[in-house]
Structure 1
Amino acid sequence: MAVARTAGELLATAAELRAERERRDAEQRERDRVRRERSAVAARQRHLDTLAVDRPAAWQRVDELIATKKPREYDTAVQLLVDLRELSDRDGDSSSFRHRLVELRAAHARKPSLLERLNLAGLDT
């Protein structure tokens, strides 16, 4: 014979089931977030590894982008410089990067828009 449950018991059971479902959903969201972060870190490392293959070409690309004197190209050059800085830090060669950055800033000292972008990206000397 089935035991009749009160409305309060039914509501309590529903609340417990809802809380359990919400907990499982939160755990899944956290697992997904961690997976996305790991994937982004791995993609970033692959990007830096690709860049490391030919650093001189990357520096040449920076020079070419800056030579266009176009703001959008400046943004691309700055992002490439950020990548080169991270690569240099990762490889323990940050003094070489800083030296190249000092030279670049001196060569383009009359380009305030570029210098502002470099400063905003933390690429100051």
Structure 2
Amino acid sequence: MSTPPAASCPCGRTDARGRPLAFDQCCGPILAGRPAPDAQALMRSRYTAFTRGDDAYLAATWHPSTRPAEVRSGDGTRWLGLELREHRLLDADHAEVEFVARWRVAGRGGRLHERSRFVREDGRWFYVDGAVR
């Protein structure tokens, strides 16, 4: 699934005035290969990858030490929104991001509330794991 460059980014990030950022000004460049500047940006880009069914990106940004053999974004899942609650830098190369993602599958809604851990290696951030709340 593609996102038009000028369309609002699925991650819901806004500018200083509270206006939604366009995909090509937000997660688009990161999904295209630009390193995420921090764990929060990587979290947002991973959410956007879920909305697009971009399993290759999800696998590439999952740390090899915890990445499953097969990464699947969830066929039939409709992602409804992302709320970032906290971004905490633990040190220069470790961070945590707490978020709530809302979804719907086959008419049933749900939410994922997670505190995710991230690590930076060779200038790139990776998702390590998360504790569901």
For Structure 1 versus Structure 2, the TM-score category normalised by the shorter chain is 0.3 to 0.5
In the superposition, the TM-score normalised over structure 1's length comes to: 0.34
Decide which structure has the larger Cα Rg and report it.
1
Which structure dedicates a bigger proportion of its chain to helix?
1
TM (norm. structure 2) is 0.32
